[in-house]
Amino acid sequence: MSTSLAMFLGFIALTLWVTYWAAGRSSGTSAFFAADRRITGWQNGVAVAGDYMSAASFLGIAGIIAFQGYDGFMYSVGWLVAYLTVLLIVAEPLRNAGKYTMADVLAYRLSPRPVRALASLSTLTVSTFYMIAQMVGAGALVALLLKDSGIGFQTAVIGVGVLMIVYVVFGGMLATTWVQIIKAVLLISGTVLLSLLVLAHYEFDLGAFFRAVTHVTYHDPSGQEVTQNFLEPGLRFKPPYGALDLVSLGLALIFGTAGLPHILVRFYTVPDAKTARVSVVWAMAIIGGFYIMTTFLGFGAATIVGRDAIAANGGTNMSAPLLAQALGGEVFFAFISAVAFATILAVVAGLTISASTSFAHDFYTAVLHHGRERSPGEEVRVARVTACVVGILSMAIAIVVGPNTNVAFLVALAFAVAASANLPVIVLSLFWRRFTTRGAVCGLTTGLVSSIALILVSPSMMTIDPPSVTGAARHLIQSAPLFPLENPGIVSIPLGFLGAVMGTLLGREPHAEARYAELLVRANTGLGAEKASKA
């Protein structure tokens, strides 16, 4: 048995034991959906950080910095500051005014059925797109990392899918939270150690490190040797639309994070708003440290391993594992590979529980059955069935599209939908007395439709590929893009706000206005907020 496979199996055994432990404590609706609201501030902060630091962060950003230098680091900056929006706008009001999902806040003073139906659709859209991208990436990466063990793409996808279903169905939010905590500790430990090894390679001389970054040598597509200063912009974001694309990406990251369903549901697991704030501070510190260290991972891979070697051994996503192999040998390579596996597994589990909670709580119970459970425990049973369905569908779609399909745009789409549809209605519901149900419906619909439509006509979907690009790697529509930016946030976010405002201005809703003062008091003081269950 290879060292990598042994570490993978060790992580699986640990998380299955956690799920077994949590299963005995997850009976009842509050326990399954919100871990009985007994997660402490530091625990939730680490779990939030674990939810946020996905494989796209650990493997993707290290890779994009290794290949595109300064422009790749700009991705880190966007992810780094995104939590300020969460801290300043949504964490405390959401915990005080909601119960299990984002829609609870909207339904507090608006007509519940239409806003819950659309909020559930938006949540399922974001979770599905994000999860398909993670599953395709999981299958490709696990197959690559465990290639010596004979595990292929399909086996890897099915394995990840089955494990995430087991975590959610049997362990609920408590198991998912502790899987995130374990993953986050492993990820930060691996990142710190790898960063120290990079600095040790340059004898802890930052000047020598950054001088090496200014002289990165590799071969371009024509085979010519190139020496590039990786601290200069322009390798990814180029004229005429590069600057706009960077701004659009930043907007989607900053505002999208505050609308991601699997992040928002975490604030219902803590006992009160004060603990929610504490958990955001913990999350910001961990996430901030992590994204600063991606500098050493990405630039270290570019200068120590080299672009040519990375491209010949799995491509950009292998930058961090190959750097670990170069500096720490096979055992450290196996550890970093296991960390990547844990990262993928924990994120898809978080997405699954947020999607199943939204469907069971917002759509099945609130919309189809007018907010009443027909039998005790029905909502949890529906959530468990939904988790199985979501998991099986994700596995099937990931296997059908295959490992070579360009799915990176699905992550951008998830952030764009969250920023364009979810955030405008959350903000206006909390801070605008006149906001109405029609405004929420218009805002959610406009943000959802505009972000999807713009992605469909963007370079992510429409590009004329050269003949050297074949098979599933080719873009879906072989035509010049109608929308020039890869990320639609700079257009779709204002459209989401505009739709919400215009819908509101079409009429008044006295009942919603009358309940605004009550919402304001509850959101700011926590009076009447959902309490933690007694141990």
Which of 223-237, 393-407, 418-432 tops mean pLDDT?
A: 418-432
30 pLDDT tier (thresholds 50, 70, 90): confident
SS3 at position 251: helix
Instruction: Find residue 462's DSSP bridge partners.
Output: 477
User: How far apart, in Å, are the Cα atoms of 328 and each of 118, 145, 310?
Assistant: 49, 16, 16
Model pLDDT, residue 242 = 84
Q: At what angle do helices 62-85 and 319-357 cross, to 10 degrees?
A: 40
Q: Kindly give the interhelix angle for 516-525 and 423-431, rounded to the nearest 10 degrees.
A: 100
* pLDDT at residue 280, rounded to an integer: 84
User: Which pLDDT value is given to residue 473?
Assistant: 65
- Give residue-wise pLDDT tens across range 289-299: 998 898 999 99
If you search the block for the tokens 């750097």, which residue do you land on? 323
Q: Which residues contact 269 (CB under 8 A, 6 or more apart)?
A: 34, 35, 37, 38, 39, 44, 47, 173, 177
Q: Is the pLDDT of residue 427 over 60?
A: yes
Residues 6+ apart with CB under 8 A from 339: 58, 183, 186, 187, 190
Which residues are 228's β-sheet partners?
216
pLDDT value of residue 533: 56
Output DSSP code: residue 100. Answer: S
Average pLDDT, the chain: 86
- Is 225's pLDDT higher than 60? yes
At 235, the amino acid letter reads L
SS (H, E, C) 314-368: CCHHHHHHHHHHHHHHHHHHHHHHHHHHHHHHHHHHHHHHHHHHHHHHHHHHHHH
My answer on whether omega of the bond before 240 falls inside 30° of 0, hence cis, is yes
Nearest to 82 by CA among 256, 265, 324: 256
Q: Cα(269)–Cα(99) distance, rounded to whole angstroms? A: 9
> Taking residues 321-346, what's their average pLDDT?
86
- Number of residues in the chain: 535
How many C-beta atoms surround the C-beta of residue 218 within 10 A? 17
pLDDT, position 502: 96
Rounded CA gap, 201 and 301, in Å? 12
Phi, psi of 477 (to 5 degrees): -115, 115
Query: Mean pLDDT, to the nearest integer, of 45-60?
Result: 81
Whole-number Å distance between alpha carbons of 475 and 261? 29
Query: Does the pLDDT of residue 246 top 70, yes or no?
Result: yes
What's the average model confidence in pLDDT over 163-171? Answer: 89
Q: Which residue has the tokens 């697991």?
A: 269
Structure tokens at 181: 């905590």
Residue 203 has pLDDT above 50, yes or no: yes
Q: Which two tokens stand for residue 470?
A: 């074949």
Between the CA atoms of 487, 488, 491 and 497, what dihedral angle is there, to the nearest 10 degrees?
-110
Q: Considering only 31-40, 233-242, 402-411, 488-497, which range has the smallest mean pLDDT?
A: 402-411
pLDDT in tens, 177-201: 998 899 899 999 999 999 999 999 9
pLDDT at 407: 62
Supply the pLDDT for residue 535: 45
| Residues 6+ away with beta carbon under 8 Å from 22 | 170, 171, 172, 174, 175, 178
Q: Of 33, 5, 31, which Cα lies nearest the Cα of 364?
A: 33
Among left, alpha and beta (phi > 0; psi -120 to 50; other), residue 237 is beta
Strand-pair partners of 216:
228
**pLDDT surpasses 90 at 403:** no
Greatest CA separation for the chain: 70
* Long-range contacts at 147-153 (CB < 8 A, ≥ 24 apart): 148/2, 148/4, 149/1, 149/2, 149/4, 149/5, 151/5, 153/399, 153/402, 153/403
> What predicted TM-score, i.e. pTM, was given to this entire model?
0.86
Torsion sign across C-alpha atoms 480, 481, 482, 483 = negative
